[in-house]
């Protein structure tokens, strides 16, 4: 059955342009991702043929749009998701401490909400667990979310139970008054065993301090540099880290022309004092300690090793803070991947 064409556009520009970029500029009320999705679903054709989003339009190409371009009404609430179970570590009148598993996004994107294509998220689970949390926070897509973890990062999170607590915790994070400790399992690519010696013998932690921003080479990645001009939207970032344990991981690979059957891995404790996107992953990778399982920031020669794991091995292990004059300290259970360095 032939699909009805709701719009037909003739490309009259002399310079080639990506199909998805042209449509998002012509119809600015719709996102580029919206057009990418419908191009892939064959609802947008060029010269009567399905194309890819990156297809280069040429002069007099004919674009057929086989769906009504009607902007959906703006959503104002996020549906609860009973399929996402919340693991509560402890609860207090003003906040919960919860454990987020690896593989679960903290909140959906606005695109997912607008297009009713919601993946399972912690936010949806929180609304099912405690419906009143819909009134907490600054964005309906992030109810009671005052800080975040990457999708594949597990560990502890603070969930404020009312708006006043949300404001207090937000200020505490901004003022770096919440101590966060992470455990990371990293490939140790240093030539000598162990980590470089710390110049301060009284302090077992080493420090990484520079700028983190979007990479100019690959806009899907963050990058680090001491020169902010080499980055997009650079921000200062600081991470302290130390090695807790070391082991060997079976991992057939080739390095410097030599075949190897295993690689040194290190269990690290990381303490970021700032909260930049992908900070620990980027910082550790920059000093020869890329996370095991990290496809985005890992080394190319370890690609086959990383395929054995569903995601990177990083956990928010502990939280410490003073709230309303009382000290609190919380510890997460040991992650499953810890057994890799317990052999």
Residue closest to 108 by CA, chosen among 75, 85, 132, 136: 75
In this model, does residue 196 exceed pLDDT 60? no
Query: Domains in the chain, please, with CATH?
Result: 7-65 (3.10.290.10), 87-174 (3.30.2350.10), 179-341 (3.30.2350.10)
pLDDT value for 233: 95
Averaged pLDDT, 247-275: 90
* pLDDT tens digits, one per residue of 99-113: 999 999 999 987 777
In this model, does residue 200 exceed pLDDT 60? no
Contact present, 268 and 341 (Cβ < 8 Å): no
| Rounded CA separation 126/129 (Å) | 5
In this model, does residue 292 exceed pLDDT 60? yes
Point out which residues pair with 328 in neighbouring strands. 321
Q: How many residues does the chain have?
A: 343
Residue closest to 187 by CA, chosen among 294, 279, 270: 294
E-strand ranges in 256-313 read 258-272
To the nearest whole number, what is the mean pLDDT of the chain?
A: 91
pLDDT value for 2: 63
pLDDT value for 31: 83
Q: Which residue has the higher pLDDT, 73 or 328?
A: 328
Q: pLDDT band for position 72 (50/70/90)?
A: low
In this model, does residue 134 exceed pLDDT 70? yes
pLDDT value for 1: 53
In this model, does residue 198 exceed pLDDT 90? no
In this model, does residue 304 exceed pLDDT 90? no
Averaged pLDDT, 87-94: 97
pLDDT value for 199: 45
In 281-308, which positions are buried (b, 16+ CB within 10 angstroms) versus exposed (e)?
Answer: bbbbbbbebbbbbbebbbbeebeebbee
The listed range with the strongest mean pLDDT (42-56, 247-261, 297-311) is 42-56
Contact present, 154 and 316 (Cβ < 8 Å): yes
Instruction: For 32, list phi and psi in degrees, rounded to 5.
Output: -65, -35
pTM over 0.85: no
């Amino acid at each position: 059955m032939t699909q009805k064409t709701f719009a037909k556009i003739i490309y009259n520009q002399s310079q080639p342009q990506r199909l998805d970029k042209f449509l998002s500029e012509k119809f600015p009320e719709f996102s580029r991702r919206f057009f990418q999705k419908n191009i892939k679903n064959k609802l947008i054709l060029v010269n009567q043929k399905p194309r890819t989003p990156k297809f280069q339009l040429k002069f007099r190409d004919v674009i057929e749009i086989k769906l009504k371009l009607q902007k959906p009404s703006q959503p104002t609430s996020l549906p609860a998701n009973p399929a996402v179970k919340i693991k509560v570590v402890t609860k207090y009148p003003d906040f919960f401490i919860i454990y987020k598993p690896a593989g679960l996004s903290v909140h959906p994107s606005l695109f997912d909400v607008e297009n009713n294509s919601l993946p399972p998220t912690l936010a949806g689970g929180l609304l099912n667990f405690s419906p009143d949390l819909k009134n907490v926070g600054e964005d309906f897509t992030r109810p009671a979310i005052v800080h975040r973890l990457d999708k594949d990062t597990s560990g502890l999170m603070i969930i404020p139970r009312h708006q006043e607590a949300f404001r207090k915790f937000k200020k505490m994070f901004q003022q770096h008054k919440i101590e966060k400790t992470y455990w990371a399992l990293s490939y140790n690519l240093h030539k000598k065993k162990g980590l470089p010696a710390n110049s301060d013998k009284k302090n077992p932690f080493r420090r990484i301090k520079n700028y983190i921003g979007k990479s100019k080479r690959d806009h899907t990645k963050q990058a680090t540099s001491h020169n902010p001009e080499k980055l997009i939207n650079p921000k200062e970032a600081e991470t302290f880290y130390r090695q807790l344990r070391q082991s060997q991981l079976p991992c057939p690979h080739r390095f410097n022309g030599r075949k190897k059957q295993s690689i040194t891995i290190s269990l690290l404790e990381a303490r970021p004092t700032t909260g930049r996107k992908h900070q620990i992953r980027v910082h550790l990778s920059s000093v020869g300690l890329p996370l095991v399982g990290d496809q985005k920031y890992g080394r190319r020669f370890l690609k086959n090793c990383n395929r054995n794991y569903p995601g990177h091995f990083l956990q928010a292990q502990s939280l410490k803070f003073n709230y309303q004059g009382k000290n609190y300290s919380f510890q997460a259970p040991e992650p499953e991947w810890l057994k890799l360095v317990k052999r």
